[in-house]
Structures are given as C-alpha cells and as structure tokens.
Amino acid sequence: MVESEVIRLGSSLFTYPVIRPRRLRSSGLIRDLVAETTLKPSDLIMPLFIKENLNEPEPIKSMPGQYRWPLNDKLINFVDQLVNSGVKSVILFGIPEHKDEWGSSAYDEHGIIQRTIRFLKDSFEDKLVVMADVCLCEYTDHGHCGVVKKLPNGGYIVDNDTTIGLYAKTAVTYAEAGVDVVAPSGMMDGQVKAIREALDRAGFSNVAIMAYSAKYASSFFGPFREAASSAPKFGDRRSYQMDPRNAYEALKEVTMDIGEGADIVMVKPATLYLDVIRLVKQSFPEVPLAAYQVSGEYAMLKAAIMNGWLDERKAVLESLIAIRRAGADLIITYFAKDVVNYIDEIERLF
C-alpha cells in the first residue's frame, strides 16, 4: 500500500502520496540509472592555439596546462591523443607572425589557420571535426575584432560592414582549406548572413556555421587574450559584445543568427551565464547549442585545484555537468583532454 498524507488547504483536505526521493539515491548504480544529465567525450570541443614560426609547444602562463602549438608533428601527436580518447572536435585560433590594421593574415590563403586546417585534415580526414574561429582580433595590430575607423572627434568605431566582408573572405579561405565548421565570434551585425552567402557562392554550402550568438563583454577573457596576443591596444569591446546585465537580449541575437543561417548557436562565457543557456535552449530547443567555458573560468578552477582547495575530478566534472544541465549540447572547454581520463568516474564521484 502506498503511504499517503493529508494536507489541509483552506477548508479542503487533499491526500498526497508520500514521495521518498532517497530511494533512488541509495547506490551508485541506481543514481546512474536515473541520472538526468549525461556527459560524453563527444560532447566536448578542444580549443587549440596555433602559433606561426614556433618549433616547440609554448606554455601559456595564465592557463596552466595549456600551450601554444607549433604547426608540426607535436600538434598531430596531441590531436591524435584527443581523437583516441573520444574527443572528436577542435576549434582553432591563430597567432600570426604578421599583424596589420586590416588583419590581413586572417584571410591569407597561406595563413597559419589555413595551413593548420590542411595539416589536420590530411592527417585525420573524417575522424576529426575541424572548426575555426572567424575574427580579426588575433590578426590586427590594434587588437580589435574588426577594421577600426577614426572619428572626427578623435574617437573610433569598428566599421561593421567592412569587417563582415573580411569575415566572409576569411571563412571562404578556411572552407577552401577543408574546414568543417566556421565560427564567427566578432559580434558584428549581419556576420552570419555575410558568411553564409559567401560560402554558398563559393560552392561550400556544406560548411556549417557555429555562431558566437550571445558573446558577453566578460572580464573572464583575460587569459585568452594573453594566450592569443589579442588584447585591444585602446578602448574595449563593449560597443559590440553584449552587456553582462542583459539576458533576454540574447534571444534577439540568437534569433537573428538563426534567421541568417547559423547551424549552431553559442553562449559565451558558460558558467556565469547558465541562466542565458537555459533561456536560449528553452526558446530554441531544436537548434544545437554550444557553450564556451572560457579561459578565465578554466584559470579560476585550475588555480583552486593547484592550491589544493578543490578536488580536480569532482570540480571539473561538476562544472561541465552544470553547463550540460542548463541546456548546452556542446561544450568548448580547455579541460577536454584531461576530463576524458575520468569522465567514466561520474557514478563514483557523484
């Protein structure tokens, strides 16, 4: 007989069954059986920094355990480890030798990312999904995400329309090199439409677009900017990246990107924007949603782990599960390679 209890609400009496949730927490096997959220290596995307004219992996001081990679067998060996562990996707960021005000190395057909795409595709073919970030911040000598136009009053703006034309040009050179997914991250209006049209005209309608749709002007990008040498030399990016105080504005950005042809949308950063991830997923359940656990989130966790304040396995898994639980289908994370070593321990750890 099912236990029940009687509750009085006003003048009425209601009978409810007594629910005992602890029955489903009594062992690891049962907890695993009824777990609502899963995390698999194939859910993860590993970011890679590729630096021109580098011979050995170069440690990134602000991101312990992460490296700038040379375009040689050292990179291939690392990616081979990823693929064998079950992480089948990478996203590339380039650090060129030459920078100028137009970011011309970004759309050079012999640029560092174009050569990296060819190198990885020749080595792994269809065993690896190669994604490439589309932006100019790593390639401009001023560090902004587009072409800067000076104003008569001494100020400046990032020229939206000129910039998206260069994004489109960059995306086509990536497609020619064999990329699977291009990922525009500059938060320029109309960037997805410009890229989609350019790819289609060039005969690359099969190349997907993962749009950084809701990219916030976050203080957690600092280590990335050090890693990629992409910090702005003047001003900041608040005029084109989203205000951290706004959540529903993300729906406007996502709606626009989907309408312009985005195949995957993204929220960045992840951990501090779980509410935005949930909001986007609930509003667009049919569209794959990525979330980027950014450099500052990685560095923050890594520092606490290295000081012995957090258990690495539990803390990293919990952070990634939270992102998945909020609604992300894919997670870009610097922990991708490490976490696969203990991802199958979720039952024991939780």
Model confidence band, residue 3 (pLDDT cutoffs 50, 70, 90): low
| Residue range(s) defining the domain that contains residue 87 | 40-349
Q: What is the DSSP letter of 35?
A: -
Does residue 3 lie in a domain region?
A: no
Average pLDDT estimate for 109-135: 97
Whether residue 123 is contained in a domain is answered as yes
CB-based contacts of 156: which residues, under 8 Å, 6+ apart? 148, 149, 150, 234, 235
**Residue 75 belongs to a domain with what CATH number?**
3.20.20.70
Domain count, the chain: 1
218 belongs to a structural domain: yes
Show which residues are catalytic.
215, 268
Is the model's pLDDT at 155 over the cut of 80? yes
160 three-state secondary structure: helix
For residue 6, what pLDDT band results from cuts at 50, 70 and 90? Answer: low
Asked if residue 17 is part of any domain, the answer here is no
**The two three-digit tokens of residue 153, written as one number:** 């009053």
pLDDT bin (cut points 50, 70, 90) of residue 291 is very high
Determine, yes or no, domain membership for 8: no
Given pLDDT bands bounded at 50, 70 and 90, which one contains residue 25? confident
* Residue 11 within a domain: no
| pLDDT for position 347 | 64
At a CB cut-off of 8 Å and minimum separation 6, what does 68 contact? 49, 50, 51, 54, 57, 58, 60, 95, 227
Q: How far is CA 159 from CA 141, 197, 239, 279, 311, in A?
A: 16, 20, 11, 31, 46
Quote the pLDDT of residue 5: 66
Where residue 325 falls among pLDDT bands split at 50, 70, 90? very high
| Domain-located, residue 133 | yes
**Confidence (pLDDT) at 16:** 64
In a domain, 33, yes or no: no
The arithmetic mean of pLDDT across residues 87-109, rounded, is 95
